[in-house]
Amino acid sequence: MNPKRPIDDATDALIKVTLPGHAAAGIPGVVHSMGPALAQLGPRRTLALFTSMNQKEGFDCMSCAWPDPESRKTLEFCENGAKAVIWEATPITVPSSFWAEHPVDELATKSEYWLGQQGRLIEPVYKAAGDDHYRPVSWDEAFALAGAALRGLDSPHQAAFYTSGRASNEAAFAYQLFVRAFGTNNLPDCSNMCHESTGTALSEVIGIGKSTVSYDDFERADLIIVMGQNPGTNHPRMLTALEDAKRAGATIVSVNPLPEAGLQRYKNPQTVRGMIGKGTTLADQFLQIRLGGDMALLQALSKRVLEAEAARPGTVLDQAFLAEHCVGLDELAAHLAQLDEAEVLAATGLTGAEIDELADRYIRAERVIITWAMGVTQHKKAVAGIKEIVNLLLLRGNIGKPGAGASPIRGHSNVQGDRTMGIWERMPDSFLDALAREFPFEPPREHGVDAVQGIQAMQRGDIKVWVSLGGNFVGAISDTAAAESAMRGTDLTVQISTKLNRSHAVTGKAALILPTLGRTEIDRQASGVQFVTVEDSVCAVHASRGRVEPVAPNLLSEVAIVSRLARATLGETSGIDWEGFESDYDVIRDHIAAVVPGCADYNEKVRRSEGFVLPNGPRDSRTFPTAVGKAILTVNELERVECPPGRLLLQTLRSHDQFNTTIYSRNDRYRGIKKGRDVVFVNPDDLDELGLDDGQHVDVFSEWPGQPDRELRGMRIVAYPTARGCAAAYFPEANVLIPLASTAEGSNTPVSKAVVVRLEPARTVG
């Protein structure tokens, strides 16, 4: 049922597998994966980029949302940040002739890697319904086409407006304003597929959906538990913070089905030290958990904490904190008293002794931070699992004191800021009320669609126009075949993008591509050079200034595109100063100051060299703005992820040489993979049991009740030390296997980390 997947020039017949490496990053890694692209940049552009990246007068790295330390080094970036910057700042551009030479059908046969290699998009292009090609159009024509399509809808709810988390605060604020003035809350975003479970859980139990730690807390912690996160690849500068913490005496524990580079040393006694100096093993304890087992582990830990308190009353729980700031202790204690240890061991795949050891570390530590990312958020019970993280932390007062806290590590560099600015299909009434006071329109109140609901609405024919501010929605969402067929059924898709990707090849009947400036580039407007602002994982907001010349003269900034799209759609009489927005971003920031909580005097505060930190009740004053005004310990029913005999649980994850759907190279150095991505990692003992071999090619089938199997063909097996019963394959290739309806309870995030699969010897090797 799935379309044939695009094949690259570098075919997977060439896949090479060696022993997994561990984090030994740095410039050699960059040169290795980006050599040709780096050479194309030229010395001047290279120097300008690498001396201003993450500097106070420079631009914010767009590779992840890891925060910047207050005192920065001259080169404050990592290997993967360098790749992201080189990928964006390439001087290679897509020529006008490209569009006549490559029909859209042909682009749909190309891989993400090939599409990204074509270079930066530099002119607006349009594909009319029935046409097979895009053709260059003027900006005016592009906006007129988009505006006419939006105005022609029967209802504003027939359009949806997606955002990927690279958009600046200014672009995001202007975009949500346009969308709400247009009349809908259909504002799905990448966060729906990412940390939505975090926002849902934390908002309910501590009153704010964000991290309760600041950067400096890491070096004050006694214990840092890294759950479901691969910082060596996805937040490499976090390894530096972990290393500093360790040097200051902290213990580090990794909870993960995989031994990930930088946290664990695995077999290969390599001693190379890269630029960020990662020759060391950071984790003092590694719990190789079964996929989806975290909730059971956390309950077991909390149970042991409560038992220790019962054995030594008054010495383990933070009774004063619990009495003053929390509700729900008795219910939690009663519930956990019933916890079935056998069930915990089955769900986690761990031994009782391993859990005892971590419980003991937790009880001995005065200040504990728990960090997490997609390994925790992309599960059916993710929201409940994150509430269990909070339970464990609250028991010993580990929220709102130095060196302690709940620390979701965000993905996209400004995904958190975009939410703060109102990119959400369910913004609270307080935000909509503030918009209504500031602007001459009444915002819609009805909730909009999220990412999965957006596809479902397309399937029903309810969404006819899809606009994307960045990202690669069909590439990133689950159930690729279903998503692509739904997208093809829309009347118009509009992509605001820097580079080509799958979402430009799988489009509505008509399609527009609006090319935009990247974050590295100088943004000149009528009032002069502009800067934008972003928010990192620890709620710090600061300015980002592009430092290199735009790759082409005709590009518009995201703010300019959004403002012109708004004018073309709403007319000149919307009573909102869109022209002012475009010519001077201070105008937008003044509105942000008036509308967004915590942003008073925004223009002044973001001009401080260090920016400012948004207020956060739990972190700052142990104030918990929940429904009951206190932090809530919750009771969550344990539910084990079932996996029938002969099947494996598959997670989809990132290689070291990709940024989400952007593929920098087909290698995954830290996992020992070269020249290919069509691999499935399986534990050797499971291979024995299944009668399969390392190096063998298999077809992977995912099973979902009442539906035909989804399939991913021709995957090479890599025997790998993942947890028993578990497997892993790369996102986005493996998205075909994830049923659209398989989502997390409460957050509707696709369950990308636990797909029940069956492996069968491949029908065709490939």
Ligand X SMILES: Nc1nc2c(c(=O)[nH]1)N[C@H]1C(S)=C(S)[C@@H](COP(=O)(O)OP(=O)(O)OC[C@H]3O[C@@H](n4cnc5c(=O)[nH]c(N)nc54)[C@H](O)[C@@H]3O)O[C@H]1N2
Write out the residues near ligand X by the rule CB under 6 A.
63-64, 80, 164, 166, 190, 193-194, 227-230, 233-235, 255-258, 260, 289, 291-292, 294, 373-375, 378-379, 411-412, 469-473, 476, 496-499, 501, 516, 518-519, 558, 651-654, 658-662, 731, 734-735, 738, 752-753
Query: Residue 412 Cβ, how far from Mo ion at the closest point, in Å?
Result: 5
Determine if the peptide bond prior to 732 is cis (ω within 30°). Answer: yes
**Helix, strand or coil for residue 265?**
coil
DSSP string, 39-100: HHH-HHHHHHHHHHBTSTTSB--SS--PPPPSS--SS---HHHHHHHHHHH-S-B--THHHH
Residue written as token pair 């943004």? 523
Residue 525: both structure tokens together: 């407007």
- Kindly tell me which of 166 and 303 has the beta carbon lying closer to ligand X: 166
Q: In angstroms, how far is the first alpha carbon of the chain from the final one?
A: 18
What is the nearest approach in angstroms of ligand X to the Cβ of residue 325? 28
Q: Supply the DSSP symbol for 277.
A: -
| 3-class DSSP assignment, residue 288 | coil
With tokens 């997609």, the residue in question is 374
Q: In this complex, which beta carbon is closest to ligand X, that of residue 46 or of residue 544?
A: 544
Instruction: Return the number of other C-beta atoms located less than 10 Å from residue 100's C-beta.
Output: 11
Closest separation in Å from C-beta 227 to Mo ion: 16
Handedness of CA 117, 122, 124, 126 (dihedral sign): negative
**Is 25 or 306 the residue whose CB approaches ligand X more closely?**
25
Residue numbers of the site for Mo ion (CB under 5 A)? 194, 411
Half-sphere exposure of 587 (CA within 13 A, CB side): 16
CA-CA distance, 406 to 390, in Å (whole number)?
A: 7
Q: Closest CB to ligand X among 465 and 517?
A: 517
With respect to Mo ion, which residue has the nearer C-beta, 415 or 673? 415
Rounded to a whole number of angstroms, the minimum distance from the CB of residue 667 to ligand X is 13
CB of residue 229 vs ligand X: minimum separation in angstroms?
A: 4
Q: Are 560 and 525 in contact (CB under 8 A)?
A: yes
Which option in Mo ion, ligand X, none does residue 757 bind, with CB closer than 5 to 8 A by kind? Answer: none
Q: Which does 443 bind (CB under 5 to 8 A by kind): Mo ion, ligand X, none?
A: none
- Residue with Cβ nearer ligand X (169 or 234): 234
- To ligand X, the closest distance from the beta carbon of 374 in angstroms equals 3
In the complex, the smallest distance separating the C-beta of residue 74 from ligand X, rounded to whole angstroms, is 22
Q: Which is nearer to ligand X, 185 or 414 (CB)?
A: 414
Q: Is 224 helix (H, G, I), strand (E, B) or coil?
A: strand
DSSP state for residue 289 in the 8-state scheme: P
Residue (378 or 480) nearer to Mo ion, CB = 378
* Pick 411 or 611: Cβ nearer Mo ion: 411
Shortest spacing between CB 503 and ligand X, in angstroms: 8
Nearest approach in angstroms of CB 432 to ligand X is: 25
Considering CB distances under 5 to 8 angstroms, the limit depending on partner class, which of Mo ion, ligand X, none binds residue 21?
none
Nearer to Mo ion among residue 478 and residue 634 (C-beta) = 478
Query: In the complex with Mo ion, which residue's Cβ is closer, 288 or 413?
Result: 413
Q: Residue 24 Cβ, how far from ligand X at the closest point, in Å? A: 16
> What DSSP line would sit under 122-181, residue for residue?
-S-EEE-TT-SS-EE--HHHHHHHHHHHHHTSSSGGGEEEEE-TTS-HHHHHHHHHHHHH
Please choose which of ligand X, Mo ion, none residue 631 contacts, taking the beta carbon within 5 to 8 angstroms, the exact cut-off set by kind: none
**Looking at beta carbons only, is 259 or 411 nearer to Mo ion?**
411
Burial class (CB in 10 A: 0-12, 13-18, 19+), 575: exposed
Among left, alpha and beta (phi > 0; psi -120 to 50; other), residue 270 is beta
Binding partner of 373, given ligand X, Mo ion, none, CB within 5-8 angstroms per partner class: ligand X
Q: Which is nearer to ligand X, 118 or 280 (CB)?
A: 118
In the complex, minimum distance from the CB of residue 25 to ligand X, in angstroms, rounded to a whole number: 11
3-state secondary structure 375-411: HHHCCCCHHHHHHHHHHHHHHCCCCCCCCCEEEECCC
752 touches which of ligand X, Mo ion, none (CB within 5 to 8 A by kind)? ligand X
Question: With respect to Mo ion, which residue has the nearer C-beta, 8 or 112?
Answer: 112
Nearer to ligand X, 432 or 534 (CB): 534
Minimum Å gap between C-beta 560 and ligand X is 12
**Which lies closer to ligand X via its Cβ, residue 626 or residue 651?**
651
Task: Give the strands of the sheet with 540-544, arranged side by side.
Answer: 532-535, 540-544, 612-613
- Residue 166 binds which of ligand X, Mo ion, none (CB < 5-8 A, kind-dependent): ligand X
Q: Considering the complex, what minimum distance in angstroms separates the CB of residue 436 from ligand X?
A: 28
**Binding partner of residue 516 among ligand X, Mo ion, none, CB cut-off 5 to 8 Å per kind:** ligand X
- Closest separation between CB of residue 363 and ligand X, Å? 21
Q: Which does 292 bind (CB under 5 to 8 A by kind): Mo ion, ligand X, none?
A: ligand X
Rounded Cα gap, residues 573 and 451, in angstroms: 31
CB of residue 469 vs ligand X: minimum separation in angstroms? 6
Phi, psi of 679 (to 5 degrees): -125, 155
- Please give, one letter per residue, the 3-state secondary structure of 646-695: CCEEEEEECCCCEECCEECCCCEHHHCEECCCCEEEECHHHHHHHCCCCC
Nearer to ligand X, 406 or 434 (CB): 406
Main-chain phi, psi angles of 8, to 5 degrees: -90, 175
The number of angstroms, rounded, from the C-alpha of 380 to the middle of its chain's C-alpha atoms is 17
DSSP string for residues in 618-638: HHHH----STTSSEE------
Supply the minimum distance, in Å, between the C-beta of residue 312 and ligand X. 30
Contact 588, 171 (CB under 8 A): no
Distances (CA, A) of 398 to 336, 351, 390, 622: 19, 26, 9, 10
Which string of b and e fits 295-317 if b means at least 16 CB within 10 Å? Answer: bbbbbbbbbbbbebbeeeeeebb
- Among 766, 758, 760, 764, residue whose Cα is nearest residue 698: 760
Q: Which does 256 bind (CB under 5 to 8 A by kind): ligand X, Mo ion, none?
A: ligand X
Give 425's DSSP letter: T
CA distance 342 to 706: 31
- Looking at residue 737, the DSSP 8-state letter turns out to be G
**DSSP at 346:** H
Least Å distance, CB 287 to ligand X, is 8
For residue 168, the partner it binds in Mo ion, ligand X, none, with Cβ less than 5 to 8 A by kind, is none
Residue 291 binding partner per list Mo ion, ligand X, none, with a CB distance cut-off of 5 to 8 Å that depends on partner kind: ligand X
CA pair distance 652, 480, nearest whole angstrom: 13
